[in-house]
Structure 1
Amino acid sequence: MRARYASDPARSRGRLVPEPESAFRSCFQRDRDRIIHASAFRRLKHKTQVFIEHEGDYFRTRLTHSLEVAQVARTIAGTLDLDPALTEAVALAHDLGHTPFGHTGEDALDALMQPYGGFDHNAQAIRIVTRLERHYAAFDGLNLTWETLEGLAKHNGPVTGAIPYALAEYDAVHDLELDTHASAEAQVAALADDVAYNSHDLHDGLRADLFTLEEIAALPVLADCFAEVDRAWPGLEPYRRRHEALRRFFGVMVEDVIATTRAALAALDPADVDAVRQAGHMVVRFSDGLFADLGQIRAFLFERMYRAPEVVETRAQATRVVQDLFPLYLSRPELLPRRWQADVAAAADETTLARIVADYIAGMTDRFALQSHARLLGGEDMADLRPGLR
């Protein structure tokens, strides 16, 4: 039984292009399935999470991260009596707009796109699912429901002030009510993202030898997790000890979100999903105490992992790949693949052409960007880039 403030597929605001409903799937289940079958979703397999994807089979990629986020989101949504399919759809699609080389690539592309409206990976996800995926006869994109699109646009909160170019472009034809919060399902997807990366970045950093087990065992929350493991399993070998402590840390975060959100929803007592949107604050959140503790953990990861001295050169190399490819394609768009040439021919101005080039580069995987750079400009081979991008 769904809560009264859950998103109801039977009351969906529908799709931009009307379609007959499926006989055996809700509209939100259909959205989830279309995302899984999208080309952009498959490409996440070879896109950086923190480490360049080819550097080790055990490091997370954007694909494995998205699957972990979806698993956490589905669990929380089910416990809170929300719609799990909508939650999972937003979780699976939340990183579709990421460039090669993670946030490093995004920063480089955003700087290059400043004369043309900038670049934002959340807005790019909207552009992908509404325009760039071109498989269906009746429409461009995936023709997702309003609720899924809203969740992608606003899962981190209302979008106000300077609205990213790609998001503003779509919102002009399909109002996503950017000044309100998203549904509780989308908010769950956002918190599930935090749960997943707070846990797996510690795990991947340990595997990369960027810090030691003893160092993370002294961090807030984690100190209690390690102590609990040591009491239950004294003398446990290091790998199992690490795994047991990190899975307890994972559990602490999930349980905290559920308990805090239940209390927030009880206090708000929303009559329906629109009451959640109009609440004026996120209803899905960590407790203040855990949020503060996680801030200390993130500060540790920032210093020891994301900005470690050995990572600086790698970030510079990855930035240079994007900085070199963008002006090359902008000045010589004939180098873009044949299927992109119709869009190039139709481009009315340099801004439109720059957006096409940004779409192409943003869709690249790590290895394809490196290979393209080496082929066109004699750039770094894949082996020259060491792990450590964020």
Structure 2
Amino acid sequence: MDEDRLAPFAAHPSRSRGRLHPEEESAHRSPFQRDRDRIIHSAAFRRLKHKTQVFVEHEGDYYRTRLTHSLEVAQIARTIARHFRLNEDLAESVALAHDLGHTPFGHTGEDALDACMKDHGGFDHNAQALKIVTSLEGHYAAFDGLNLTWETLEGIAKHNGPLLTTADAPMNALPFAIADYNARHDLALHTRASAEAQVAALSDDIAYVNHDLHDGLRAGLFTEAEAEALPLVQRCYAEVDRLYPGLVPQKRRHEALRRVFGLMVDDLLTETATRLAAAAPASMGAVQALDAPVVAFSSSMAGTIATIKEFLFHRMYRHYRVKRMRIKATRVVDELFAIFSESPDLMPDEWSAAALAAPDATGRARVVADYIAGMTDRFALEEHRILTDPQARA
């Protein structure tokens, strides 16, 4: 979208706060397009192909991975951003980067790594995403990380809302990676993020609620009848039955769930339009200074989504088949962390050197956590097998 077509409260490329390390601007791409391209070409983004949402990677070819999820979030975010004349490229950049910090084995891996790091500041996937794009990606000669714009980094750090109550609030409660970077490049953690980042955050909600319904049904973790009893879902199945009586189950499910998806998007568009009209923000800064987000679901839809999430938590994420995988995945992460913490020289040379050069146990633990967090599901399983199976070849 041309800059002169952007809304006043959108992120205008010409007004970007720039990058930590100044660079000559591209003649063919806006700063936010360049951010998006760097994220897509990063090693961390490619690894999302083999990182799972709920299931471990080898459960089946049809289930979502972190990569497919991120692409779905980006598609939704672009659609919503275009509707409100926001900067589509910034919304897409935040959407594509939002899951870069996830560990292998989905939330199970994150929970396990957070427990391993309990004496060293814990582990948070959102903070890890910021660390990846600001330091761990190491392909550029002039800087570590991807040197993304302030606006994209802000969106990654606080797309779910402010992280501090005031500008001078103590930062010791923040995840280390966020506090560490913010000390060098102030991301105004006490304000809200841009409207584009808020769009990315709720696009994430829309995507994962809908694809978890799809994947949970396909995997047999709950029945069609149980899903049909959910608010909103029930209404959509009824409409499909009225329009297409006798439809085969696979098409019936798809038609119903795509209507659920559409109703969530429509509700967000309506509520956000109402909030924008009431707030009348004249700039991106005005959006960031508001007490409440401008991008939101109605209270009714927010309640419905909360009910669906609660159902998914109990019927999907705590299903006995998923719990079995949680036990296995937790053991893999726990044992890898213990082995590498005790013997850092078992990691690849650059990781081993960084761990051995760390000033203290916390510094060493963070290196080990970074190494494990970057693993794909199958690489973590293979590393664990090599290190724990006496018959495995190194």
Scaled to the shorter chain, the TM-score interval is over 0.9
CA deviations 1:218-255 (Å, max 9, x no partner) are 21001111111111111111100100001011000111
Checking the alignment, whether the CA contact within 8 Å between 1:6 and 1:184 is kept in structure 2 is: yes
Q: C-alpha distance in 2, partners of 1:327/1:109?
A: 11
Partner of 1:171: 182
Task: Report whether the alignment pairs 1:47 with 2:51.
Answer: yes
CA distance in 2, matches of 1:280, 1:367: 44
Decide which of 61, 70, 73 is 1:69's aligned counterpart.
73
Map 1:116-127 onto structure 2 (within 5 A). 116-127=120-131
Aligned mate of 1:363, from 374, 382, 391:
374
Task: Provide the residue aligned with 1:314 in structure 2.
Answer: 325
> How far, CA to CA, are the matches of 2:258 and 2:286 in structure 1?
35
Contact 1:38 1:133 survives alignment (8 Å) = yes
TM score, norm. by length of structure 1: 0.96
Shift of 1:378: 2.2
CA deviation after TM superposition for structure 1 residue 309, in Å:
2.4
Residue 269 of structure 2 aligns to which amino acid in structure 1? Answer: I
Provide the rounded CA distance (Å) in 2 between the counterparts of 1:377 and 1:284.
48
Q: Which amino acid aligns with 1:284?
A: V
Q: What is the correspondence of 1:177-188 to structure 2 with a 5 Å cutoff?
A: 177-188=188-199
Partners of 1:257 and 1:311 in 2: how far apart? 31
Match of 1:385 in 2: none
1:308 shift after superposition: 1.2
Query: Which of the numbers 284, 293, 302 marks the counterpart of 1:273?
Result: 284
1:204 aligns with 2:215: yes
| Bigger shift: residues 43-52 or 211-220 | 211-220
Deviation per residue, 1:159-182 (Å, 9 max, x gap): 137111111111111110111110
Q: Does 1:295 align with 2:306?
A: yes
Residue identity in the other structure for 2:345: E
Matching of residues 104-183 of structure 1 within 5 Å: 104-160=108-164, 162-183=173-194
Secondary structure of 1:172's partner? helix
Per-residue CA deviation, residues 365-387 of structure 1 (Å, 9 max, x unaligned), is 111111111110129x9xxxxxx
1:261 to 272, 275, 300: 272
| 3-state SS, counterpart of residue 210 of structure 2 | helix
Which letter maps to 1:294? I
The corresponding residue for 1:229 is: 240
Q: Which stretch has the larger CA shift, 277-286 or 340-349?
A: 340-349
Once the 2 structures are TM-superposed, how far is the Cα of residue 298 of structure 1 from its aligned partner? 1.1
- The CA deviation string for residues 147-195 of structure 1, in whole angstroms up to 9 with x for no partner, is 0000000000011371111111111111101111100000000000000
**Alpha-carbon contact 2:355-2:368 (below 8 Å) kept:** no
**Deviation of 1:345 (Å):** 4.1
Correspondence for 1:334 among 345, 356, 378: 345
Q: Distance between the aligned counterparts of 2:345 and 2:358, measured in 1?
A: 13
Quote the Cα distance in structure 1 between the aligned partners of 2:138 and 2:13. Answer: 25
**Alpha-carbon shift at residue 91 of structure 1 (Å):** 0.1
Distance across 2 between alignment mates of 1:23 and 1:342 = 39
Which residue in 1 is equivalent to 2:17?
13
CA distance in 2, matches of 1:225, 1:213: 13
Tell me the amino acid that sits aligned with residue 154 of structure 2.
E
Deviation at 1:334, TM superposition (A): 0.4
The 5-angstrom pairing of residues 81-92 of structure 1 reads 81-92=85-96
The 2-side partners of 1:86 and 1:296 are apart by 31
Name stretches of at least 5 consecutive residues in structure 2 with no aligned partner: 165-170
Q: What amino acid sits opposite 2:8 in the alignment?
A: R
- In 2, the alpha carbon distance for the partners of 1:312 and 1:32 equals 36
Identity of aligned residues (%): 64
Partners of 1:215 and 1:345 in 2: how far apart? 53
Structure 1, gaps ≥5 residues long: 382-390
2:126, 2:157 within 8 Å by CA — same for their partners in 1?
yes
SS of the equivalent of 1:178 reads coil
Alpha-carbon distance, 1:310 to partner: 2.8
Shift of 1:325: 0.7
Larger CA deviation: 143-152 vs 325-334: 325-334
Whole-Å separation in 2 of the counterparts to 1:223 and 1:330: 50
| Counterpart Cα distance in 2 of 1:305 and 1:20 | 49
- Relative to structure 1, the CA distance from residue 372 to residue 277 in structure 2 (aligned partners, 3 Å threshold; closer, same or farther) is same
What is the CA deviation profile of residues 249-271 of structure 1, one whole-angstrom value per residue up to 9, with x for unaligned ones?
10001111111101101101111
**Residues 326-385 of structure 1: CA distance to partner in whole angstroms, max 9, x if unpaired?**
111011000111232342343222211111100000000111111111110129x9xxxx
Q: In the alignment, is the contact (CA less than 8 A) between 1:53 and 1:60 conserved in 2?
A: no
Residue aligning to 1:99: 103
Q: Deviations over 1:39-61 (max 9, x none)?
A: 00000000011111211110000
Q: Aligned partner of 2:108: which letter?
A: T
Q: Distance in 2 between matches of 1:362 and 1:341?
A: 15
The corresponding residue for 2:167 is: none
- Cα separation, 2, equivalents of 1:282 and 1:104: 30
- Which stretch shifts more, 163-172 or 211-220? 211-220
- C-alpha distance in structure 2 between counterparts of 1:51 and 1:207, whole Å: 12
* RMSD of aligned alpha carbons: 1.2
- Runs (4+) of structure 1 exceeding 3 A deviation are none
- 2:257 aligns with 246
> Is structure 2 residue 60 aligned with structure 1 residue 56?
yes
Q: How many residues align?
A: 380
Q: Counterparts of 1:309 and 1:32 in 2: how far apart (Å)?
A: 39
How far residue 311 of structure 1 moved from its aligned partner, in angstroms, is: 2.3
